[in-house]
Amino acid sequence: MRPGIIGFAVALVLPVIPVKPVDAQRLAHVVAVDSGLVHGDARLLLTGAAERVEMAILGQSRQYSRAQAQLRLAQFFREYPPQTFVWTTEEVVAANWFATGRYQVSYEEEATLRIYAHWQQQHGVWKLSKVHVFR
């Protein structure tokens, strides 16, 4: 399923889902990140990202602008094309929401990377503020 269609479907379905607004927001974020990782779409992954995103991709963490983060992630997806992605943990603490998952690199069964995502809530809006990729 193409990422654009997924995003559209989410946008279409969300209004009719009988959930609280903040849960709908989180659901949209999860779907975006999940789809972005599964399809290797950096733009989709950073849909709900803040203006500055801390990213660590198999090394040091840096603060990137959203535009730069998108291109940096695109570079990562070129070097490590995705096969599958599975969420493993999730935790919400006050205005912080964390999640980790396992990212299977395409063609390399032994190459599994871990993904860490951190959203922060400001004025009721969740924004993706950190994405770490590590072994």
By CB under 8 A, how many residues form the interface with other proteins? 42
Site for other proteins (CB under 8 A): which residue of 120, 124, 125, 126? 120
Tell how strand 49-57 and strand 61-65 pair up. Answer: antiparallel
CB 77 within 8 A of CB 35: no
Amino acid (one-letter) located at 26 = R
For residues 97, 41, 80, 132, the Cα torsion angle rounded to the nearest 10 degrees is -20
Give the largest Cα separation in the chain, rounded: 42
If the CB atoms of residues 12 and 107 are measured against other proteins, the closer one turns out to be 107
Residue 84 touches other proteins, criterion: CB under 8 A: no
Report d(CA 97, CA 128) in Å as an integer.
9
Scan residues 97-116 and list those touching other proteins (CB under 8 A): 98, 100, 106-111, 114, 116
Q: Which residues bind other proteins (CB under 8 A)?
A: 50-52, 54, 56-57, 59-65, 67-68, 70-72, 74-75, 89, 91, 93-94, 96, 98, 100, 106-111, 114, 116, 118, 120, 122, 130, 132, 134-135
